[in-house]
Amino acid sequence: MVRALVRKHLTNLKRRFPSLADTKILALPGRDYGFRLIVPKSVWVKVLTKMAEEQTWSNFKNEAAARNADTGSAYVNKLHAVWWEMLQLQESQTRRNQLGDIGLTRPR
């Protein structure tokens, strides 16, 4: 099963990979990933392998922005928002670890 939050992402996959072309996109309102493709694992592994072999970019957010017509600006904005939140988590964990290294953290 391949899950997506945005239907167009699955449409793009189906257009790009002939092995997915005849697969129906399932719309499941109310689910955390509202769109899905049901494909055999062996098919999905081949698609992922091809995508990994093609990958040349070093920054996913920048690559998504460069393909704005395929991804949409709302998607790119959300990528940046998630990145920001995860950076805040990393920085808080780093500070906590640094304080722990010098014995300044409070016991739990």
pLDDT at residue 69 in the model: 79
b/e burial code for range 45-76 (CB count within 10 A of at least 16 → b): eebeeeeeeeeeeeeeeeebbeeeeebeeebb
**pLDDT tens track for 20-41:** 999 999 999 999 999 999 999 9
Confidence of residue 106 (pLDDT cuts 50, 70, 90): low
Is the confidence at residue 107, as pLDDT, over 60?
no
| C-alpha radius of gyration, the chain, whole number | 19
Q: Are 55 and 82 in contact (CB under 8 A)?
A: no
Beta bridge partners of 102: none
Any idea which residue has 């010098």 for tokens? 102
Q: Average pLDDT over the chain, rounded to whole?
A: 89
Q: Global pTM? A: 0.73
